[in-house]
Structures are given as structure tokens and as C-alpha cells.
Structure 1
């Protein structure tokens, strides 16, 4: 009798375990916002934190799959928001190349000061860059000193299509980004959605990006779209207003892509 009771108990517990396993939530990804809390809370980012609710820094780093020791580029760094995030996320063994195009500095000299301020906290006592390095050069020729694991460009990809630049600038710059990455490296692009079929005109009039145009040029260069994220999805944006209009500024619908260089 005890044998039958034991057998019944064994099969019951086995079935229960199987059932329990079937209902378990999937394991959390290695890349999640909590992984980057040290970078988010870095004292050098105190002035950035008021923008964090909209800019989702932890989710951005997780989507970009940033690891300690990575060599990364912040392409068109602007005010340095992403540079400061990356500086701590890659750790002391990593490197960040913070690129500010000469064309942007010529348009507004403030961009030079913003770059200087962004890299200053990561310099040694002599003021020399330690693991965050400023780069200034023409838009399509940053002069990356070494192959990169990841390049991130946030809300500036559409600028490649401005008529202020010579014809072919977008395609030349995308080819440069591709060549700058290690085999298997990734490019993360975040930008404002334009309406479908808007073309390059949307970049010039609204500072928005036609995703069909962007993806065509990126894949032509060799990139493979690996994942698209909805972290900046705001469906209420009609995608027809200039992104600097007060009515929509800071609330635009944005796409986030992670593209891979095959390797």
C-alpha cells in the first residue's frame, strides 16, 4: 500500500512542478534598466535627471545592450546627455568617444562649450581625457581612433538629410558609421517620426525622419535591423508639427532602432 501511496505522491508532485514551470514568468533579460542604476544616478548627471522621465535613460542603455568595457561612440553628442550616461555605463575599462561635428559648432559655438563641459568630469588631475574622449571633425569624418562596439545617435539622424550639407552626405555618413563598427557591432538610432512618405523634406522643415528613407539607406550600407523598441512611442503625436513647436516639444513620437553590422 505504501508503494502505491508513494507512487501517487511522486506523480502528483511531478505534475505540479511541471504545471508550475509552465506558468512561470520568462526570465528577465540580462539587459534591463536596473542594470544601469549607477550610470543613471551618477553625480555628473544631476542636471540631466529632470529630462529622464521623457528620455528613459535606463531603457535606452538596455536597448543598446551596453556592457562594461565597451568602446562606444556618441555620434552628434549635442549637450552630452548620452555621453554622460555612457561614461559610467561602460566603466573604467571602457571608452566613450563623444563626437561634435564642426558644422554644428560653426552654426552655434555653444556646442563646443557643451562638449567641453560633458567630458570634463572624466578627466585626470591634469585635465587630460581618461576614458571619455572628445572628437571634433567634419560630420562624415569623425576620425574614430579605434573600432567601436556600439554607436548611439539620438534625435540627430535626420540632420544627415539637411540641404545645408552637400548631396550624398547622408549616404557617406552612414557608410562611415558602418565602417567604424567592429564586425557584429551595433548602431542605435533614435529620432522623431515623420509621416509615411515624407522624404527628406521632413528633415528640413520639421526636423523629423522618414523611416522608409532611413531604413533604405541603412540597409543599403549593410546594416541589418535587429530590433525596434517602443520606449519613445507617443501615438498622440500627429507627426506633422515641427519638433520645436511648444505644443509638441518633448512629446514627439520617436522610433528606436538597433541595427547590426554582420560579423
Structure 2
């Protein structure tokens, strides 16, 4: 299925979108879904077409109910003419959405960590096979590799948006979070957007108490970003899951899709669904701050 992205917005649509333009984060309570651009309604029609795409498997589509890709990408302000870098896309769940959407007028870049681990090799091979197997949808997408300790995601100021889904907890545990967020800042254009979704720890939990569980305190992630120079623009409850009690034998991996315990209490964990997640939108200021030398507190 090929998707032709038309950019001829009618005046009526443009003015209707402008009437619903984003209010500042300071004017909105945390958790409100605030479309950040006047063209968000236009993008919605393109997202609907991509999400229904025949190249997406039934298994992947079944996860939409937990991951809310349409609402999440609208919240981040994604537009089909942008250059978007997705950090550590795994096997490509979001690649199946982003690459076709950006194919005709934008550019999708999948940033894959360099390494010899089994999971890294498996994910990289799956992504390469996905792109090679369907040139109609993925032919213009790019794959780059990076060193997590000294990451570079492209020329400075070359990306409109950087996105990462359920990865920050891995970098935090490995001690590479600070370097990663600084590299996000470097590759983004002034005014560019960083979108982050990750497993959210219980209110008041410290980093040390949850660092091995896959969950992270929201304020820890915010500090990583703001220490790198970003401004927190808005938070959303799009990916919240109040059923998630966050107290499982194998941490977040007890829940689907991993289900680390196998058949043990499988029905219970399937009923909970995927994890409760923070969804955060940051902006690189048009003018860089004088300094950002502090480190995130653990």
C-alpha cells in the first residue's frame, strides 16, 4: 500500500487548526493532550492510513490499544515533512508507522546501537530485513549505528524531531543517559522536539529503588533532558495504565509483551496489559542556554 502525502492544506483547515493551536505547558495541567501544531488534524488522516497499512502485522496492530501511536505522535507534533530520528527502535514497531508516513516528503532515520549482543544483533537484523523486504514503504528510510557511550545521531542541527520509546531505563541503568540526551540535543535543530515515552515508576519512588525494575521516576527523566538543555514543553497521560501496580517479581518485564514468567499468572498479567508510561515532550530552545553542566541526580 502506498500513501501519497498531500500538503495542500485548505485555508479552512489551516484556520480551524490555528483556532485549536497549542497553549503553553504552563497554562495546561500535566497530562492534558495538547496538539502542538495547527496542522495536527491533517496529520491525523495520514496516520489513520498508515496504521491501517497492510505491512503492519496483526500482532503489531493489536498493541495499538496499549501504545496509542496516533495520539502519541500527534502529541509530539509529528509532521510528514520532517526529518525524524528514532533512537533504538528495536525490531521496528514504530518504524512500521514512521518510515511510511515520512517516506514521500520527510526522512526517517533509525538509530541502532552498535554492539555484539544477541538482542542487538537480532533487532538490527530484523530492522534491516524489514526495510529491504518492502522498498515501497521503507525504501527511503535510513539506518545508522551509534556508540551509546559517545553517541552521534547525525550532523548537528539536522533533525526536526528525536523520538524514543521505552529505552531511557536501559540507558539510566547503564550510566549512558546523560550522553544520550546531550546527543539528542546536538542533532536537533533549534526549536526541534524530543519525544520520550517510558515505564513510569510509582509516585515518590527513587531512582535507586527502581533502577533494576525497568520503571523510572518521571522527574529523573525530566532532569536528564533539562540538564542537557531541553525545556519541558508538556506531559500527557495518553499512555497511562492505572492497572499497573509496578510491583512484579521480574519488574516491568513481567507484563506483556515480554511476559517473563511465561504461563505463571499469565491471565493476570494479560488483564493488566502493558505498563503505565510517562509521555513527555521537550523542546530545544531557539537560543541555547548559557550552560548546562549539572548532572542528573540519582
TM-score between the two structures when normalised by the length of structure 2:
0.70
Distance 1:240 1:198, change over 3 A: farther
Does residue 1:197 correspond to 2:208, yes or no? no
Q: CA deviation at 1:69?
A: 1.5
Q: CA deviation at 1:119?
A: 2.2
For residue 220 of structure 2, the aligned residue among 208, 213, 220 is 213
Alignment-derived partner of residue 180 in structure 2: 173
Distance 1:67 1:262, change over 3 A: same
Tell me, yes or no, if the aligned pair for 1:154 and 1:189 is still in contact at 8 Å: yes
Alignment-derived partner of residue 243 in structure 1: 252
| Cα distance in structure 2, aligned partners of 1:75 and 1:236 | 28
Q: CA deviation at 1:140?
A: 4.4
Alignment-derived partner of residue 125 in structure 2: 113
Per-residue CA deviation, residues 94-132 of structure 1 (Å, 9 max, x unaligned), is: 1111112124x52423122222133224547xxxx7421
Does residue 1:38 correspond to 2:49, yes or no? yes
Could you tell me which runs of 5 or more consecutive residues in structure 1 were left unpaired when the two chains were aligned. Answer: 1-25
Q: CA deviation at 1:254?
A: 0.5
Distance 1:200 1:172, change over 3 A: farther
Q: CA deviation at 1:183?
A: 0.5
The answer to which of 230-239 and 32-41 deviates more is 32-41
| Cα distance in structure 1, aligned partners of 2:133 and 2:54 | 10
Whichever of the two has the greater Rg, that structure is 1
What stretches of structure 1 move > 3 A for 4+ residues in a row? 26-30, 32-35, 121-124, 140-143, 246-250
| Cα distance in structure 2, aligned partners of 1:27 and 1:213 | 31
Q: CA deviation at 1:42?
A: 2.1
Per-residue CA deviation, residues 2-21 of structure 1 (Å, 9 max, x unaligned), is: xxxxxxxxxxxxxxxxxxxx
Tell me, yes or no, if the aligned pair for 2:90 and 2:124 is still in contact at 8 Å: no
Tell me, yes or no, if the aligned pair for 2:151 and 2:180 is still in contact at 8 Å: no
Distance 1:197 1:89, change over 3 A: same
Structure with the larger helix share: 1
Equivalent residues in 2 for 1:1-263, closer than 5 Å:
27=20, 30-32=39-41, 33-47=44-58, 48-103=60-115, 105-108=116-119, 109-121=121-133, 123=135, 130-146=139-155, 147-162=158-173, 165=174, 167=175, 169-195=176-202, 196-203=204-211, 205-241=212-248, 242-245=251-254, 246=259, 247-248=268-269, 250-263=273-286
| Cα distance in structure 2, aligned partners of 1:121 and 1:94 | 20
Alignment-derived partner of residue 8 in structure 2: none
The answer to which of 148-157 and 59-68 deviates more is 59-68
Could you tell me which runs of 5 or more consecutive residues in structure 2 were left unpaired when the two chains were aligned. Answer: 1-18, 22-34, 260-267, 287-298
Q: CA deviation at 1:84?
A: 1.5
Distance 1:122 1:148, change over 3 A: farther
